[in-house]
Structure 1
Amino acid sequence: MCFVRKLIEQLMKFGIVGVVAFVIDYGLMNLLLAFHLHNILASTVSFLISLAFNYVASMKFVFKHRPDMARWMEILIFVGASVVGLFINEVIIYISTFGMNHDAMITQHTEYMIRTNIGKLVATAVVMVWNFVIRKWLLDDTHTNAMNRLRSGDKKLTPEQLEAKWERSFSHRLGLWSLDHTPDGWPK
């Protein structure tokens, strides 16, 4: 039951950070749309600004720094996952206004904003799931043991088996590789 409570706590922290990032993203996008900026450009600017907040808050409150991974690798994973998230975001927003006039941001402004906002809501949900899964897999150091806690008593792995599984995991090997390849003077 402790695992479930910790997972719920982590999801709540992730959710709170996500809500604040969403308010930044959504609010700034709508402000830029009000000034007739193209929806793809407006959503890109707002996404990138909310991303900066999301990185700082996520690494401070949601995910723990892993001692087996260099900071630069954490940032690279976060940015890589965010680039994919940005692409997903932009495709969904593009689809939301597909078929409208090329000058819809001016001539059909209300419909353009409504359709963009609906697309943004859908994109936010899809990107949130993507971000949680990829960050949980690559940035959180507890995922191997967490899955073991879900197993019934006789099927749980021993501490030695868990350690061996962790040693073989992609996440751990990537982390160790990043430590070995960290330039002198960079924080580990």
Structure 2
Amino acid sequence: MRSVLKRPVTQQFIKFAAVGILSFLVDWIMLVVMVELFHIDFLVSTTVSFLTSVALNYALSMRFVFEHRDDMSRKREFTIFAILSCIGLGLNDLYMFVGVTMLNVGYQAMKVIATFCVTWYNFFTRKKFLAG
């Protein structure tokens, strides 16, 4: 077990998960506040909360999880991150829409499911395109 935790990818994923948990909490709290307190549509709320958490996730991920690639400018790095995040947002909103409107899953439960699915996409695409 100990040798598994020493693998660089495993350590990197643990850091990624910690950043992700914090980002998820921001996402979750904003979603619930916008839906429950301000009565904003769940799909609008999930989009706004997702985008906010992505900004936080970018800052923390590039500082603590992934190293800046020497062969890539910060502008290009952010552009790639933004494109990957837009795809993640599309997946997130698709899961939320299908789960809530078609499968009749509560929006809070569906947010957990959507986040779990999009997390795997985020890790592997960011690792492939952004990790140094």
- Aligned pair 1:136/2:110, yes or no? no
* Uncovered stretches (5+) of structure 1, i.e. residues with no partner: 101-111, 142-188
Deviation string 1:20-67 (CA, Å, 9 cap, x unpaired) is 000000111001110221011000110111111001000000000011
1:171 corresponding residue in structure 2: none
- Aligned pair 1:87/2:78, yes or no? no
Q: Which amino acid aligns with 1:53?
A: L
Shift of 1:3: 9.0
Q: Which has the larger radius of gyration?
A: 1
Q: Which amino acid aligns with 1:117?
A: Q
1:66/1:140 contact within 8 Å kept: yes
Instruction: Flag as ranges the 4+ runs of structure 1 deviating above 6 A.
Output: none
1:56 corresponding residue in structure 2: 59
TM-score (norm 1): 0.64
Identity of aligned residues (%): 35
Classify the secondary structure of the residue corresponding to 1:69.
Answer: coil
- Aligned pair 1:19/2:10, yes or no? no
Give the length in aligned residue pairs: 129
Distance across 2 between alignment mates of 1:122 and 1:2: 27
1:152 corresponding residue in structure 2: none
1:17/1:57 contact within 8 Å kept: yes
* Uncovered stretches (5+) of structure 2, i.e. residues with no partner: none
2:81 corresponding residue in structure 1: 78
Shift of 1:99: 4.8
Richer in helix (by share): 2
Classify the secondary structure of the residue corresponding to 1:36.
Answer: coil
2:5/2:11 contact within 8 Å kept: no
